[in-house]
Amino acid sequence: MNTSTISFNANTQGGPLEISVCLDSHTIYQSEITEQKQKINVILDQEDKEQDHVMEIHMRGKLASHTQLDNFGFIVADRLLEISDITLDDINISHTFFKNARYRHDFNGTEKETEEQFYGTMGCNGTVTINFSTPMYLWFLKNN
C-alpha cells in the first residue's frame, strides 16, 4: 500500500478558533488554531484501485462578538481562519484544491445555509469539503 500526504497551513486573524479535519467521516486532527501558522498533515493510505474520499475542514468557535462593525455597518475587525500552502507530497496543489473545494456555512446562524466556492478564508463557523479519489496523482491530473 502506498501513502500520500496532503499538507496545509492554518492560522487565524483576530484570535483563536477551533479546527477539525475529517477524512471519510473520521476525525484525524482537532486543535485550537492561533495567528501562528500550524502545518496540518493528512496521510492517505492508497490502494492500487480507485477509491472515492471526502476531506472536511470544520471551523468552530466564532461568536457574533468577534465581528465588530462601525456606525455604517461595515466590518472593522473580525476573526477568520485561513488555509494556505496546500501540498500533495510537497507539490503545491492550492489552485486545484480551491477550484474543487466547497464552503458551507449559515453566516453563524444569521441567514439560511449557503454553499460557495472556497478561496482560502473561513469567516463563519462552517465546513470546507473536497471530494477526491485515489490514487491522488490521477485525481490531481484530471482536476487541475
Low-confidence ranges of the chain (pLDDT < 50): none
pTM for the whole thing?
Answer: 0.92
Whether 86 and 132 have beta carbons less than 8 Å apart is answered as no
Q: Where exactly are the structural domains of the chain? A: 2-143
The confidence score (pLDDT) of residue 48 equals 66
- Amino acid residing at 9: N
* Check whether domain 2-143 has CATH 3.40.50.720, yes or no: no
| Residue pLDDT, tens place only, 100-115 | 999 999 988 888 999 9
Collapse the DSSP code of 100 into the 3-class scheme (helix H, G, I; strand E, B; otherwise coil) and give the result.
helix
Q: Which of 27, 129, 32 is nearest to 81 (CA)?
A: 32
